[in-house]
């Protein structure tokens, strides 16, 4: 023991703050001992001892001396002696690390049982209990310390039950238990060539060493890797006097929570098994009864337990779970810790604890998070026993039912007829956007969690399942084949569960999220009654608290009036990103094509302007009183044009068939060829487009200014803003801004008024971030486009990276998280910080927003709060999540 810290501590020497040294279980036992709860006496071999044992591959010096001293004290306290047949002390040897790793490491019960002890107990009329405990020791020691496969013992138990003609272990009689103990010992001998040790102290030492070693067991390692628990902490070992739930009918074992961990409802909640040891409750060998059974059998014990649960909850100021055992009418508490809970319970419990005065609302806010809220907002399927047709990746949660369609055009057409459709594609591309918008759900055969389909669907809050390998989509034949043989035609109804990734044939019943409904009802009408559902009520209370505390604003990314209305109902304080290209997708893309190919360009531009005027008017009206940031056309032009290869092939075929040259087709082909780029995402798009082909952006801005001027004249408080995408250089910004302002000035002059439309710039290229000081001199606001900024900083494509290498990277441990889901603070974050600093240095009142996917990601929001961002803008369904997280960051 080189560090000088003790290797062994008795329960009364520790407390809850010492989980590092004593493990969570040990710290809890120590704390409960302090509180005067009925904890059997015991001691803890520290994590320090475990680390030393694992490092040296053997016992640390002085360990057994310290254990013996603590054991002597335990013997004094209990009045019993380990290995003494007349007054036998039995102990459990239990693992317990700093972070709870349920069931991942080992525990051995009934240490100290041997031939002499069992004989003495049997003689005193306790044969059943004695043999049951002995067979349990053989079973657990054999498995844990000596490495015999657990299933072998289970097989023998099954045989014994069959032989005795009983259904449960508890019904085996003395003789059967005795035979079982013998059979277990023979099994151990046959498998390992070793005897179950008869010396109690040897049993204890070997069990302690086995628990140490279980820290590095395969299960434990995998669990730690998954949960991100460090590998070098080690486990503590708790040696606890045994109390016996298997000592007859006034004995039993149970596990309970201080409140219902599923719904959050107040009042103790749990399971109880009469005449059983603790592991029987968890392992499911018998179906437990609920706590009311304990109340019926033994009301006094039930009352006492309830009192202790209250003590614990008040003391820990949170939901606790507890293991307890009743031995011949006496209650013992064997473990406590903060209880795991469902998202619904998390909200309800936090708010009810606040109402009870145990914590305040700010603390309640810290007890919940955006991930939990996200899961409460999605509709779900009614519980039912349906078996899925196929499964894929749960890319965007929710539940949806609709008729299968295999292309975007059909999706839009059918949706236009009022049908619900599910769009199934091999994979999706930007061309499918209109279809995705029209569909209730999107499913794809290929693609991962950050494929195009997944990213777009999450942004839209649409249910989506990707990577369904058992599904083969044939868009031409209009069928999908599942599992190689099951063929579904276009129009077949399917149900898609985006939360589990399962696809079902036929229609399953959907239930709307009670919480989502309640949030929307409150925002639209402040006078509504509080919702009847306690979780929904709790969510509203905590959102209110978050709104009170947060310093960051929350806006939505929205284009259609419907999205804008949803955003408002969810509490959005404006639109932070209106992607104008979405107004020009689908059938309208022909208009852009006509402009570019100069096929009656003026006529097409006029039509675009009329459409835009209409849409901006509605959008500004829906968002009256709140800012609406309109981003000018961003994507590469080719997205609006027919495919070059298709056109060339058609032209070649026509020529081969000797058809006369079609001048229109010729002109179209020439234009498409002229605009073709090998790498369009790094090509003519964003502000570049505006500077080279300014006509589309100019009509867009004119329409926006016109809509604003008319609405303002009607006395409506509308607040449009304009944003320029993909700026890298300040000269681009100043040139573009000059053009836009002259258009705006024109409109204003025509109306005989002035128009104040702020012009901002997206920061989505590293060069923009690095020269933000210069940009700020020409911009009223910055909006961080963190999706593109991530693509351009890493030099990776969001559409392809997951499938081509990101997934492999994560598996190999080369990167921990998907940078498109959670902001890469080290790289992209450094650029954000630089831009914030430079921008604010130039212009103190520069407004800073974030409009990428990350604005709705709970983890990334923490970073934005710290970076000094003024507002987040995310997809409408994520608005409540952003409000909550922004509030949590502020308390
Ligand atoms: P886990 O961490 O897997 O729950 P535990 O160490 O808590 O493992 O023990 C397994 C089971 O044995 C639990 O149900 C526990 O309550 C029970 N148990 C542990 N120690 C004792 C004891 N001294 N007396 C009676 N039951 C015990
Ligand atoms: Mg336990
Ligand atoms: Mg962008």
Residue with tokens 């002390």: 89
- Across the range 185-208, mean pLDDT stands at 97
Q: How many CB atoms lie within 10 A of CB 700?
A: 26
Ligand 1 centre distance from Cα of residue 278 (Å)? 6
Q: How confident is the model at residue 525 (pLDDT cuts 50, 70, 90)?
A: low
Is residue 393 scored above 50 in pLDDT? Answer: yes
Tally the C-alpha atoms within 13 A of residue 845's C-alpha that lie toward its C-beta: 2
Whose alpha carbon is nearest atom 16 of ligand 1? 278
- Name the residue at shortest CA distance from atom 8 of ligand 1: 107
Which tens digit of pLDDT belongs to each residue from 688-717? 999 998 999 999 999 999 999 999 999 999
Would the pTM count as exceeding 0.90? no
* Residue 636 pLDDT level (bands cut at 50, 70, 90): confident
Q: Quick check: 1 pLDDT over 50? A: no
pLDDT at 157 over 80: yes
Task: Tell me the pLDDT tens digit for each residue of 298-340.
Answer: 999 999 999 999 999 999 999 999 999 999 999 999 999 999 8
More confident residue, 761 or 462: 761
pLDDT-based confidence at 4, cuts 50/70/90? low
* CB-ligand 1 contact for 103 (6 Å cutoff): yes
For 664-673, the CB contacts below 8 A with 24+ separation are 664/599, 667/597, 667/598, 667/599, 668/593, 668/597, 668/599, 668/642, 671/596, 671/597, 671/598, 671/641, 672/597, 672/638, 672/641, 672/642, 672/644, 672/647, 673/644
CB 540 within 8 A of CB 531: yes
Tens digits of per-residue pLDDT, 221-279?
888 887 788 999 999 999 999 999 999 889 999 999 999 988 899 999 888 999 999 88
668-672 LR contacts (CB < 8 Å, sep 24+): 668/593, 668/597, 668/599, 668/642, 671/596, 671/597, 671/598, 671/641, 672/597, 672/638, 672/641, 672/642, 672/644, 672/647
- Least confident stretch, 69-83, 355-369, 426-440, 843-857: 426-440
CA-closest residue to ligand 1 atom 14: 278
pLDDT of 683 higher than 80: yes
Alpha-carbon distance of 79 to 327, in angstroms, equals: 17
C-alpha to C-alpha distance for 153 and 137, rounded to whole angstroms: 12
pLDDT > 90? residue 104: no
Q: Which atom of ligand 1 is nearest to the CA of 94?
A: 6
**For atom 22 of ligand 1, which residue has the closest CA?**
242
Alpha carbon distance 50, 212 (integer Å): 6
The pLDDT score that the predictor gives to residue 526 is 61
Strand, helix or coil for residue 721: strand
C-alpha angle with apex 148: 144 to 150, nearest 5 degrees?
A: 75
What gap in Å lies between CA 427 and CA 456, rounded to an integer? 12
Residue 749: partners with Cβ closer than 8 Å, 6 or more residues away: none
pLDDT of amino acid 301: 96
Give the separation between CA 313 and CA 24, rounded to whole angstroms: 16
Return the ligand 1 atom nearest residue 323 CA: 16
CA atoms within 13 A on the CB side of 285: 20
What tokens appear for 247 in the block?
């000592």
Give the three-state DSSP class for 566: helix
Question: What's residue 8's pLDDT?
Answer: 97
Answer yes or no: is the C-beta of 242 below 6 A from any ligand 1 atom: yes
Q: Which atom of ligand 1 is nearest to the CA of 105?
A: 3
Mean of the per-residue pLDDT values of the chain = 92
Closest ligand by atom to 581 CA: 3
Distance CA 77, CA 58 (A): 30
Length of the chain: 891
Q: Which ligand is nearest to the CA of 101?
A: 1
Return d(Cα 245, Cα 331) in angstroms, integer.
10
SS3 at position 191: helix
Give Cβ neighbours of residue 129 (< 8 Å, ≥ 6 apart): 121, 244, 246, 247, 248
| Separation of CA 407 from chain center | 31
Q: Is 491 left (phi over 0), alpha (psi -120 to 50) or beta?
A: left
Beta carbon of 579 within 6 Å of any ligand 1 atom:
no
CB atoms within 5 A of ion ligand 2 belong to 335
Question: Is residue 495 within 8 Å of 504, Cβ to Cβ?
Answer: yes
Which residue is listed with tokens 């991962």?
Answer: 448
The winner for highest mean pLDDT among 96-105, 390-399, 585-594, 712-721 is 712-721
Sequence-separated (6 or more) residues with CB below 8 Å from residue 304 = 331
**pLDDT for 804-833, tens place per residue?**
888 788 878 788 888 998 999 999 999 999
Q: How many whole angstroms from 757 Cα to the centroid of ligand 2?
A: 63
Kind and range of the H or E element at 422? strand 421-425
pLDDT above 70 covers a percentage of the chain that reads: 98
Measure the CA–CA gap between 735 and 225, rounded to whole angstroms.
53
Question: Is the per-residue pLDDT at 2 higher than 60?
Answer: no
841 by DSSP, 3-state: which?
Answer: helix
Ligand 3 centre distance from Cα of residue 586 (Å): 20
**Is 256 among the residues known to form the active site?**
no
Catalytic residue among 464, 578, 851, 874: 851
Question: Nearest C-alpha to atom 17 of ligand 1 is from which residue?
Answer: 278
- Which two structure tokens, joined as six digits, stand for 505? 């044939």
Phi, psi for residue 519 in degrees, rounded to 5: -60, -45
CA angle (731, 736, 737) in 5-degree steps: 100
DSSP 804: I
Percentage of the chain exceeding pLDDT 90: 74
- For the segment 349-378, the average pLDDT, to the nearest whole number, is 95
**What is the rounded average pLDDT of the residues 104-120?**
94
Q: What is the ipTM of this complex?
A: 0.94
**Ligand lying nearest the CA atom of residue 764:** 3
464 is catalytic: no
Q: From the candidates 302, 308, 378, 452, which is the catalytic residue?
A: 452
Nearest ligand atom owner, CA of 283: 1
Show the tokens assigned to 610: 């009329």
Cα 244 to middle of ligand 1, angstroms: 11
């Amino acid at each position: 023991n080189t560090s000088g810290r003790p290797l062994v501590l008795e329960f009364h020497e520790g407390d809850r703050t010492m989980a590092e040294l004593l493990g969570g279980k040990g710290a809890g036992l120590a704390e409960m001992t302090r509180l005067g709860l009925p904890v059997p006496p015991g001691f803890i071999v520290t994590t320090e001892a475990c680390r030393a044992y694992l490092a040296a591959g053997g016992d640390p010096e002085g360990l057994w001396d310290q254990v013996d001293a603590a054991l002597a004290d335990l013997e004094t306290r209990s009045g019993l002696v380990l290995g003494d047949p007349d007054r036998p002390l039995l102990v459990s040897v239990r693992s317990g690390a700093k972070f709870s790793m349920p069931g991942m490491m080992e525990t051995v019960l009934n240490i100290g049982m041997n031939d002499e002890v069992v004989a003495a107990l049997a003689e005193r009329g306790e044969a059943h209990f004695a043999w049951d405990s002995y067979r349990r020791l053989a079973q657990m020691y054999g498995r844990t310390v000596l490495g015999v496969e657990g299933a072998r013992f289970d097989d023998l138990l099954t045989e014994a039950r069959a032989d005795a003609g009983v259904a449960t272990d508890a019904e085996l009689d003395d003789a059967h238990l005795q035979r079982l103990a013998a059979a277990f010992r023979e099994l151990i001998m046959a498998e390992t060539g070793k005897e179950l040790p008869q010396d109690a102290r040897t049993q204890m030492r070997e069990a302690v060493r086995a628990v140490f070693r279980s820290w590095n067991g395969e299960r434990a390692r995998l669990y730690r890797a998954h949960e991100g628990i460090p590998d070098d902490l080690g486990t503590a070992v708790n040696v606890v006097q045994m109390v016996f739930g298997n000592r007859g009918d006034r004995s039993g074992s149970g596990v309970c929570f201080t409140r219902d961990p599923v719904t959050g409802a107040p009042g103790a909640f749990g399971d109880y098994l009469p005449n059983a040891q603790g592991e029987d409750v968890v392992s499911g060998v018998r179906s437990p009864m609920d706590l009311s059974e304990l109340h019926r059998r033994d009301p006094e014990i039930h009352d006492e337990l309830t009192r202790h649960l209250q003590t614990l909850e008040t003391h820990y100021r949170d939901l606790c779970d507890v293991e307890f055992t009743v031995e011949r009418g006496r209650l013992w508490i064997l473990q406590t810790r903060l209880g795991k809970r469902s998202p619904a319970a998390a909200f309800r419990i936090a708010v009810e604890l606040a109402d009870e005065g145990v914590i305040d609302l700010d603390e309640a806010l810290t007890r919940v998070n955006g991930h939990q809220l996200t899961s409460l907002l999605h509709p779900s399927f009614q519980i039912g026993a349906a078996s899925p047709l196929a499964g894929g990746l749960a890319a965007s949660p929710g539940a949806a039912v609709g008729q299968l369609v295999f292309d975007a055009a059909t999706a839009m057409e059918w949706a236009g007829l009022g049908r619900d459709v599910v769009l199934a594609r091999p994979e999706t591309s930007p061309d499918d956007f209109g279809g995705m918008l029209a569909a209730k759900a999107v499913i794809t055969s290929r693609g991962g969690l950050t494929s195009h389909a997944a990213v777009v669907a999450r942004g839209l809050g649409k249910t989506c399942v990707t990577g369904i390998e058992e599904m083969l989509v044939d868009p031409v034949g209009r069928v999908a084949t599942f599992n190689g043989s099951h063929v579904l035609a276009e129009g077949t109804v399917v149900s898609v569960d985006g939360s589990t990734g399962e696809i079902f044939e036929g229609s399953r019943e959907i239930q709307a999220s009670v919480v989502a409904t309640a949030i929307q009802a409150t925002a639209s009408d402040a006078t509504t009654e509080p919702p009847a559902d306690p979780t929904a009520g709790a969510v509203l209370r905590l959102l209110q608290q978050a709104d009170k505390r947060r310093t960051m604003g929350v806006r939505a990314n929205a284009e259609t009036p419907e999205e804008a209305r949803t955003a408002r109902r969810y509490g959005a304080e404006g639109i932070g990103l209106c992607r104008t290209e979405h107004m020009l997708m689908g059938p309208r893309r022909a208009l852009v094509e006509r402009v570019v190919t100069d096929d009656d360009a003026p006529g097409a531009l006029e039509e675009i302007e009329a459409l835009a005027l209409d849409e901006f008017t509605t959008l500004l009206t829906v968002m009256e009183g709140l800012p609406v940031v309109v981003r000018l056309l961003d994507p590469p032009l080719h997205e609006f044009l027919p495919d070059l290869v298709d056109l060339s092939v058609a032209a070649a075929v026509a020529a081969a068939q000797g058809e006369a040259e079609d001048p229109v087709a010729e002109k179209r082909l020439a234009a498409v060829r002229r605009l073709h780029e090998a790498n369009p995402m790094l090509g003519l798009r964003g502000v570049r487009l505006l500077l080279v082909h300014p006509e589309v952006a100019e009509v867009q801005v004119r329409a926006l200014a016109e809509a604003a001027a008319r609405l303002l004249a009607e006395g409506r408080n509308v607040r449009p803003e304009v944003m320029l995408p993909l700026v890298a250089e300040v000269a681009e910004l100043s040139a573009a801004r000059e053009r836009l302002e002259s258009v705006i000035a024109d409109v204003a002059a025509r109306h005989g008024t002035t128009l104040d439309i702020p012009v901002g710039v997206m920061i989505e290229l590293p060069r923009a971030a690095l020269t933000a000081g210069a940009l700020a001199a020409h911009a009223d606001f910055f909006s961080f486009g963190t999706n593109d900024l991530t693509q351009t900083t890493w030099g990776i494509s969001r559409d392809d990276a997951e499938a081509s290498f990101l997934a492999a990277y994560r598996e190999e441990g080369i990167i921990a998280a998907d940078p498109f889901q959670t902001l890469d603070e080290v790289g992209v974050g450094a650029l954000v910080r630089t831009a914030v600093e430079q921008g604010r240095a130039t212009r103190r009142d520069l407004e800073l927003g974030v409009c990428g996917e990350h604005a709705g990601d709970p983890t990334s929001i923490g970073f934005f709060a710290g970076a000094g961002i003024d507002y987040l803008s995310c997809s409408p369904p994520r608005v409540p999540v952003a409000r909550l997280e922004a509030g949590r960051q502020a308390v």
